[in-house]
Homo-oligomer: A and B are copies of this chain.
Amino acid sequence: MSVTEQPEGGPRRQSRQRNAVLALLDELDGFRSAQDLHALLRERGDSVGLATVYRALQALVDDGQLDVLRSTDGEAAYRRCSSSHHHHLVCRSCGRTVEVADPPVERWAARIAAEHGFVDVQHDVEVFGTCAACAAARA
């Protein structure tokens, strides 16, 4: 979500593990922690090192192919995302997410920052709630 550099790390080398991580993220649709992803890969017989998962995730984040989210318990969660700027609506119960791109918030953030003399602005917005399906299931 940061709009910083992308110093071009050269043509990233292909590898089974990196593809596996990306493929896994492609078929999941909520935010998953690195530990989760690692466990899932192992479960399905893909022998991948934990460190490798972290490296792959970081590389993908650098490439703008993933979004990261820090949960309140300090774990980082990753999700395959469109690369354009957007925010998330996350279901607290099932982890399902919806991408939200809405000009009003962008303008709001810019205005607030300008009013206080801040420059070089960037913002983080996440909305948590219970999705319709989970709310119904719980009732």
Contact = CB atoms under 8 A, between A and B. Distances in A.
Interface in A89-123: 89, 91-92, 98, 100, 102, 104-105, 108-109, 112-113, 116-123
Interface stretch (A18-26, A44-52, A70-78): A70-78
A124 B126 contact: yes
Interface string A45-72: 0000000000000000000000010111
Contacts of A33: none
A131 B112 contact: no
Contacts of A126: 123-124
28 contacts: A74-B74, A89-B113, A89-B118, A91-B118, A92-B120, A100-B112, A102-B108, A104-B104, A105-B105, A108-B108, A109-B127, A113-B129, A116-B132, A117-B131, A117-B132, A117-B135, A118-B127, A118-B129, A118-B132, A119-B132, A119-B135, A120-B130, A121-B127, A122-B128, A122-B129, A123-B127, A124-B124, A125-B125
The 5 closest A-B CB pairs, nearest first, are A117-B132, A118-B129, A121-B129, A123-B127, A70-B70
